Amino acid sequence: MVTPGTLLIASFNAGREFLRAPTEDYAQRGPAMPYVTPVLVPIRSIGPRHGERIARHLLALDENDRYLRFGYAANDEQIRRYVDGLNFERDEIFGIYNRKLELIAMAHLAFSTDPELKSCAEFGVSVLAKARGRGYGTRLYDRAVTHARNDGVDMMFIHALSENTAMLKIARKAGARIERDGSESEAYLKLPPADLDSRMTEMVEEQLAQTDYRLKVQAKKFWDFLTALQKARHGVRE
């Protein structure tokens, strides 16, 4: 649940992002400087203008990750076709960006096109290897559940390979019912109807995510300019 306290902490952390160089990589911090997941992770709704970033994110997955995400070892051409076929007007795409504006985690909430299953939606998620262990999959699932409730969905499901334990763990933790059929599993989560809390939560979280993204854009421009200036000064000295 979003509270004034979590918003204050998140806003403070977002401001600090501007002062931190985007070249710093959390994955290289080591045990002396472990990564600590923020109280509130800015998750942004993604539109068609970010199609190329979505493609780069999925293409960065290795063969096993692609197999777990799509149910088969998708090649680059198949991933491109998947991205080109995304329906941004019907479905919702959510993403988490780092300071380099790299899409490090992404979720696809696909709404049913079956007239008899209009109140159903399917959830899929992918997280880059370097960004795992921070609970991003769970955060994206929670964000998708909130949006699905507010959009009138009463049943959300996950279709995953039975060996995709990380995905099924997210669903099980949320209280979903899981049915296994050999190599594949289905997770079903019955959603309560939308209320004032769910609507306010989504509105505030989306606003925070948009603000966080704009700050990261400005920070990247600043550090890119500073880097270019330093290179120019170095060239003059030489």
77-119 residue pLDDT tens: 999 999 999 999 999 999 999 988 999 999 999 999 887 777 8
3-state secondary structure of 187: strand
Residue 146: per-residue pLDDT: 96
The whole-model pTM stands at 0.79
Cα separation, 133 vs 97, whole angstroms: 16
- When pLDDT is averaged across residues 122-147 and rounded to a whole number, the result is 95
Q: Is the pLDDT assigned to residue 233 strictly greater than 80?
A: no
Return the pLDDT at 217. Answer: 82
Nearest-angstrom CA–CA distance, 222 and 23: 13
The answer to whether 46 and 94 have CB atoms below 8 angstroms apart is yes
Number of helical (H) and strand (E) elements in the chain, helices listed first: 7, 7
**Per DSSP, what are the bridge partners of residue 156?**
121, 189
Digit-coded pLDDT (tens) for 22-36: 544 444 454 444 555
Between 3.40.50.2300, 3.40.630.30, 3.50.50.60, 3.40.309.10, what CATH number should domain 40-237 receive? Answer: 3.40.630.30
